[in-house]
Amino acid sequence: MKKLKVAVIGVGNISQFHIEAYMKNPNAELYAFCDINEKTLNAKGAQYGVERLYLDKDKMLSELPEIDLVSVCTWNSAHAECTIAALNAGKNVLCEKPMALNAEEAAAMVEAAQRNNRLLMMGFVRRFGNDATVLKDFIDAGDMGEIYYGKASYLRRAGAPSGWFGDKSRAGGGPLIDIGVHVLDLSRYLAGSPKPVSVYGATFYKLGNRKDIKLRGNYLSAGDESNEVYDVEDLATAMIRFDNGFVLSLEASFSLNIGGDVGEIQLFGTKGGAKIDPQLHLYTEQNGYLTNVEFDAPTALNFNGLFDNEINHFVDCCKDGRECRSPGTDGVEVAKILDAIYRSAKTGHEVAL
Ligand SMILES: NC(=O)c1ccc[n+]([C@@H]2O[C@H](COP(=O)([O-])OP(=O)(O)OC[C@H]3O[C@@H](n4cnc5c(N)ncnc54)[C@H](O)[C@@H]3O)[C@@H](O)[C@H]2O)c1
């Protein structure tokens, strides 16, 4: 069986999870790397024994037509450009979250995938956790009834990453687009992937990147650059209404005077409720009693294996034409919500979609 040849565009921090998952996949062959940073490119090439190294994605795509799959792991402002170039060169693409800087770019990426008849998968990695898989099975079996309300929080006390993450021109925004996107996407996915109809949002620029803090945890480590530009929000909050009646309350921060970091999703349905904190909890009713489901196997969110599951699914989709669990079209819906939150925060009014 022919192995699918893989190129990775953007070989910074997160790329190692893609690379190592492809290395473990028997149907994939790590083939080429591209990064505009020569030092990063050479270091990753040496680390993983990849010799086809390119500073320019267009050169790589034209010189190596045999590439089958591309992972796009650049900073956010290069996602659309790199994804569209790879799709136009006939490759299937897995693009890291967030999909792009805005919904317009995201829609152009989906258009390129459709025009070239190629797969565009979104790297919404939280969809591939044990917690999400188990909860989705319960929801699909009807055990939650109608899910009508959700709360999703991704709050860091002093967790602003360094480098481009604080630069709006390259990141598109702050904690909302960077980490809020994970819990927003997962909540919407579990609630049946409804379309957004209206959004009310607020953003705050009060605390900055907290470089002044003397004692901190292990934050401010992502990227390899200094925080020369820091113009993103510290906190965003929103109420999102969807076309199936589901309403989601969302909050995300890099900096917030809160007792501890929070990463939590709660979903409330007519027959039961669920929480991931990161342990999965299910609250239900049986024979007139309020009961809680206890699992005989691990169901907590566990970052080990998340990326392996995502990459294995991408390879399977490309190899066997399996239906994609995280299609680019979902990335567009999420991008529309993010745009609307930032717009609402600016105007102070609800935004209809
Ligand atoms: N799924 C997750 O949980 C998760 C976690 C962290 C980061 N991410 C996402 O992964 C992406 C990368 O984040 P990171 O932490 O690895 O950042 P990083 O800065 O460590 O790496 C990004 C790399 O992209 C390169 N690059 C930028 N533009 C390029 C271009 N046009 N062509 C080729 N290379 C280019 C940079 O030189 C850099 O080496 C971001 O979109 C981020 O949101 C996802």
> How confident is the model at residue 210, as a pLDDT?
84
Per DSSP, helices labelled H in the chain are 15-24, 38-48, 57-63, 79-88, 103-115, 130-140, 168-171, 175, 181-190, 306-320, 328-347
Assess whether 338 and 197 both reside in one domain: yes
Determine, yes or no, domain membership for 205.
yes
Distance CA 338, CA 197 (A): 13
Domain that includes residue 106, residue range: 4-124
Q: Which of 14, 36, 314 to mutate to test the pocket of ligand 1 (most atoms within 8 A of CB)?
A: 14
The binding-site residues of ligand 1, defined as CB within 6 angstroms of any ligand atom, are: 9-15, 34-37, 40, 57, 73-76, 78, 82, 96-97, 123, 125, 163-164, 178, 222-223
Domains in the chain: how many in total? 2
Q: CB under 8 Å, gap of 24 or more: what pairs does 132-138 form? A: 132/186, 132/189, 132/190, 132/276, 132/301, 134/280, 134/295, 134/299, 135/190, 135/267, 135/274, 135/276, 135/280, 135/282, 136/189, 136/190, 138/272, 138/274, 138/282
What string of DSSP letters covers 101-138?
A: SSHHHHHHHHHHHHHTT--EEEE-GGGGSHHHHHHHHH
Does the pTM surpass 0.75? The reply is yes
pLDDT value of residue 28: 98
Q: How many angstroms separate the alpha carbon of residue 15 from the centre of ligand 1?
A: 7
Question: Do 166 and 278 belong together in one domain?
Answer: yes
CA 223, CA 161: separation in Å to the nearest integer? Answer: 8
Distance 75 CA to ligand 1 centre (A): 4
pLDDT along the chain (353 residues), means of 10: 95 96 98 97 98 98 98 98 98 98 98 98 97 96 97 94 91 97 98 98 94 67 64 97 98 94 97 96 95 91 90 97 96 98 98 98
Domain boundary residue, one of 65, 97, 124? 124
- Which of 124, 139, 167 terminates a domain? The answer is 124
- Which CATH number does the domain housing residue 278 bear? 3.30.360.10
